[in-house]
Amino acid sequence: MKVKFFTPTREYQEKKSEFDNAVLGFMERGVSMLGKEVTDFEESVKEFTGAKYAIGVASGTDALVMASDILGFKEGKEVITSPFTFLASASCIAKNGAKPVFVDIEEETFGIDASKIEEKITKDTVGILPIHLFSQMSDMDKIMDIASRHKLRVLEDSAESFGMRWKGNGADYKHAGTIGDFGVFSFFPTKTLGAYGDAGMIVTNDENLANLAKMYRVHGASKKYHYDFIGYNSRLDAIQASILQVKIKYIKDAIKKRDHIAKLYMKRLQECEFIKIPKIIGNQESVYYAFNILADKRDELSEYLKANEIGTSIYYPIPLHLQKCFAYLGYKKGDFPIAEKTCESIIALPIYPEITEEEVEFVCQTIKEFYKK
């Protein structure tokens, strides 16, 4: 049996006529930049997440860079974030000359350890950039409390966390991305809400920040050919928006199916002594964008699964403080031991709404077989 790590083709076949109508219908109507297709999808995201404003942009990375620019993450200022994440969470800080300041992660959730943030705050610190990774949100109660006491801006990297909700000690569940000053989503094809190419979004509840984001995505223009800022050219593509508008209709069902698959993995793998399964911590509703395990002999396991035609992925093999591009920050091995240790044993198993139970059983059996040898 062959199990792909990710495939969009099953979903396409299931909803072929809807996708075809969306894309071909757009082409028949002609070209439109930031037209109805984009605004319709922005409305859908607002409705689903409860964000007051949603600004469609070209990718999650662009969303992070523009939001960082607007929040003043630049010119020698410092922003606190985690070294255990995708590059874009920290490159967006460095892009305009601010300095990423790393804090180690929590062992059980992989999220930033909020109890270690305050000791890193200096007179130059302007923001905190938490990342809601894989299946759960960072402790937003603690992060928002620190931010308000030290007057820091909060940019939520919600690229992986569409649909996750945090309650904490609050009265209601709040969607990832809607708690800080800005939140960003990525609609990269593998993400929980994935397009068929690059796409992203900035969300906020602040009218002023929303207006700035709208200007920044079209070269900083307040109206056509009137440039108030030096911005970017980063629009959400209308064809991707049309596809996403189809997919967001089914998002609750897709999240439910991911949850079912994750629970099946947990049930089948829990007795395996060579594997650790991450815990969801804090009062929140998780979404399984990825299903990770911490595995003994990870690299050999990964080779064994590959030989058995099972796709896996390693998020992330090298923590950001040890990447060449951040060597100038002066970090060294041993600075963030939990992040470093996690990079050595983590491995993501296939999870998507269309994966079958038989395929999941096969993945689990193959993993157990590997450890019996």
Ligand X SMILES: *Cc1c(COP(=O)(O)O)cnc(C)c1O
Residues of this chain that interact with ligand X (CB under 6 A) are 59-61, 85-86, 88-89, 131, 157, 159-160, 186, 188, 198, 200
Least distance from ligand X to the Cβ atom of residue 336, Å? 17
Name the burial class of residue 302, with classes exposed (0-12), middle (13-18) and buried (19+) by CB atoms within 10 angstroms of its CB: middle
Compute φ and ψ for 235, nearest 5 degrees.
-105, 145
Residue 346: strand pairing partners: 294
d(CA 56, CA 45): 10
Choice between 104 and 198, CB closer to ligand X: 198
Least distance from ligand X to the Cβ atom of residue 87, Å? 8
Least distance from ligand X to the Cβ atom of residue 196, Å? 13
The residue number whose beta carbon is nearest to ligand X equals 60
Type of residue at 58: A
User: How many C-beta atoms surround the C-beta of residue 253 within 10 A?
Assistant: 10
Least distance from ligand X to the Cβ atom of residue 157, Å? 5
d(CA 214, CA 224): 12
Choice between 42 and 198, CB closer to ligand X: 198
Choice between 164 and 269, CB closer to ligand X: 164
Least distance from ligand X to the Cβ atom of residue 58, Å? 8
Compute φ and ψ for 132, nearest 5 degrees.
-90, 100
Choice between 160 and 340, CB closer to ligand X: 160
Residue 322: strand pairing partners: none
38-67: string of b/e by CB count within 10 Å (b at 16+)?
Answer: beebbebbeebbbbebbbbbbbbbbbbbbb
Least distance from ligand X to the Cβ atom of residue 86, Å? 4
Choice between 186 and 292, CB closer to ligand X: 186
Instruction: Return all residues near 325 (Cβ < 8 A) that are at least 6 apart.
Output: 87, 91
ω before 250 within 30° of 0 (cis)? no
Instruction: Return all residues near 145 (Cβ < 8 A) that are at least 6 apart.
Output: none
Least distance from ligand X to the Cβ atom of residue 65, Å? 9
d(CA 86, CA 184): 14
Choice between 236 and 275, CB closer to ligand X: 236
Least distance from ligand X to the Cβ atom of residue 365, Å? 29
Choice between 38 and 364, CB closer to ligand X: 38
Choice between 254 and 364, CB closer to ligand X: 254
